[in-house]
Structure 1
Amino acid sequence: MPESQPSWPPAGGGYPPPAYPYPYPPAPGQYPGYAPPGVANAPKNGMGIAALIVAVAGIVTALSVVGGVVLGIVAVVLGFIGQGRAKRGEANNGGVAIAGIVLGVLAVIAGIGCIFVYVGIWRTAGGGDYVDCMTKAGSDTAAQQQCTDRFREHFENKFGSAEAPRVQESDSSSLMPA
């Protein structure tokens, strides 16, 4: 008996491919002529944040004068740049930029105020006389030492001892009960 063979369609199918009247539809969320969703211009908040950070650093270093004045000025400049970006809608942290400006101005004022304090202390301590004495002493080490000793004595008379207070050592056995 002859073997029966299944009747399969010939290779290549014999069926025509389905005909779509339009090209394939776009993937979900993608429409021709529009930007993909979720892609938006991120706000440029870096200048405002940098202004605040630099301003805080300026206030912390205001006693060094240079730190307060220089960092304060940098903070004010960065703050104005950040505020400009916020006004144009490029950033959304205008308040942070304003805080950087205000704290930067305070750092500059504190740094300049420290200059006046340091100059006052220098004058009260006799710093000008010390510089004059050292200039006259030239390279004579004995005369330079005499100038330094006079300055130290004058400083101690005005402000108290220039040395750190000394702690009196006590016998540790007197602290322990018998």
Structure 2
Amino acid sequence: MPPPPISPDGPGQVPYGYPGGYGYPSQPSYGGGAHGPQSQGAGAYYGWPGMTPVPSNGLGTAGLVIGIISAVVFCLWPIAILLGIMAVVFGMIGRGKAHRGEATNPGQALAGIICGAAGIVLGLVMIAFLIAT
């Protein structure tokens, strides 16, 4: 496969996988040259600019979904209470991750805590109703 064509202004940025040579001039890596000091060794590599870690939103979302399910199925009180406890725990862990900056959904985690607590309360009200009748 031939290399891609070169524009009249020069090659620009070399495509990934094409080393210096093959008609392309060598460009400095991110660890050296005009982008950073190369004389500081391997520790001077700063990584790819602009790359941020992917947020870990799974526990907050799981807390919300399980909390909604526990509030909806309150007539099945053992399942509602168990799901409510799980939703509160997942929501609290997700809220902690959002507070530390590892997740971006503190609102979903809080809604999971609230829905889980509502599922627990509705399950307990259902138990009280069954005992009273």
The alignment's TM-score, normalised by the length of structure 1, stands at 0.51
2:64 is aligned with 1:58:
no
Query: 2:69 matched to 1:70?
Result: no
Identical amino acids, percent of aligned pairs:
39
Equivalent position of 1:152 in the other structure:
none
Inter-partner Cα distance in structure 2 for 1:88 and 1:34: 23
Matches within 5 A, 1:16-55: 24-26=26-28, 31-32=30-31, 33-55=45-67
What code does the residue aligned with 1:31 have?
Y
> What is the CA–CA distance in structure 2 between the aligned matches of 1:112 and 1:37, rounded to whole Å?
52
**Structure 1: which 4+ aligned runs deviate by more than 3 Å?**
none
Distance 1:49 1:37 in 2: 29
Q: How far 1:38 moved relative to its partner? A: 5.0
The root-mean-square deviation of aligned C-alpha atoms, in Å, is 1.5
Alignment of 1:1-178 (within 5 A): 24-26=26-28, 31-32=30-31, 33-121=45-133
**Whose radius of gyration is greater, 1 or 2?**
1
Tell me the SS of whatever aligns to 1:90: coil
Q: Counterpart amino acid of 2:119? A: A
Structure 1, unmatched stretches of 5+, are 1-22, 122-178
Q: How far off is 1:62 after superposition?
A: 0.9
Please give the alpha-carbon distance, in whole angstroms, between the structure 2 residues aligned to 1:67 and 1:53: 14
Counterpart amino acid of residue 27 in structure 2:
P
**Inter-partner Cα distance in structure 2 for 1:86 and 1:68:** 26
Residues matched between the structures, number: 96
Cα displacement string for residues 94-139 of structure 1 (whole angstroms, at most 9, x for unaligned residues): 0110000011000000000000111122xxxxxxxxxxxxxxxxxx
Give TM-score, length-normalised by structure 2.
Answer: 0.68
Deviations 1:32-85 (Å, cap 9, x if unpaired)? 122124532111111100000000110111111012110000000000000000
Structure 2: gaps spanning 5 or more residues: 1-24, 32-44
CA distance in 2, matches of 1:86, 1:36: 24
